[in-house]
Amino acid sequence: WLKSIAAMERKKPLAIFLLAALIALGPLGIGFGSKQAAPVDSSSSKDHDVRLLGLRSSQLFPVTNLSLVSWFFLIFFPRWRKLQQVVLIGPMVNAVVYAAVAFLAARNPHAPAVDFSSLEGIRTMFADADACFAGWLHYCVFDPLIGFGEVLDSRQLKVPHLLVVPCLLMTMLAGPVGFLMYMSLRSIVLWTKDDFHFNVQ
């Protein structure tokens, strides 16, 4: 399996093609588990006032698909020498968009009051499209960074990447579950090394 990964790393044209495909599909709104959303009645919505570069949150949403680029390289090219630079592109872009949307939403007089003291307050906040978009951006920034940390840590501990891939997939789809999976795997590896002096390759 490791030999197949090494072979993939030598096929840079294929990687460039797949990367370009992910970016090209982004504007089409294609992503994991995506479904055609029901049309929103803008006449009854107060959350459409925030615009960034003339675009509403719904129009900016495909930008979040940049996080798929990070996941692609974390899963298939974990030892590439330029991994860090490429993986950080998605989180950085999404973080900039998040900061801009959050700033504009905070200045929106129609934005709902933010109440973090109760679940009902959180539910009300995320009923607003701009707040919901900001929340999704938050997810798309930090989950790939957690995955990046898993890859770096597993390389240091010499954990076989094949065992890390399920953790990465779960971190992408259900962040805390994937993080717990990796921490469990990490504990097992450390326990194995300490008790049996076995170097995991």
Per the rule left: phi > 0, alpha: psi between -120 and 50, beta: everything else, 35 is: beta
What integer pLDDT is reported at residue 171 of this predicted model? 95
What integer pLDDT is reported at residue 92 of this predicted model? 95
What integer pLDDT is reported at residue 106 of this predicted model? 75
Walking along the chain (201 residues) 10 residues at a time, the average pLDDT comes out as 47 47 44 45 48 78 91 94 92 93 76 76 81 90 96 93 95 94 93 60 43
What integer pLDDT is reported at residue 89 of this predicted model? 93
CA 178 to chain CA centroid, nearest Å: 12
The CA distance from 126 to 198, in Å, is 49
Global confidence as pTM:
0.69
Number of Cβ within 10 Å of residue 159's Cβ equals 22
Phi, then psi, of 8 in degrees rounded to 5: -65, -35
The kind and range of the H/E element at 55 are none
What integer pLDDT is reported at residue 125 of this predicted model? 78
| Residue with the two structure tokens 């590439």 | 80
Per the rule left: phi > 0, alpha: psi between -120 and 50, beta: everything else, 159 is: beta
Here the tokens at position 184 are 């469990």
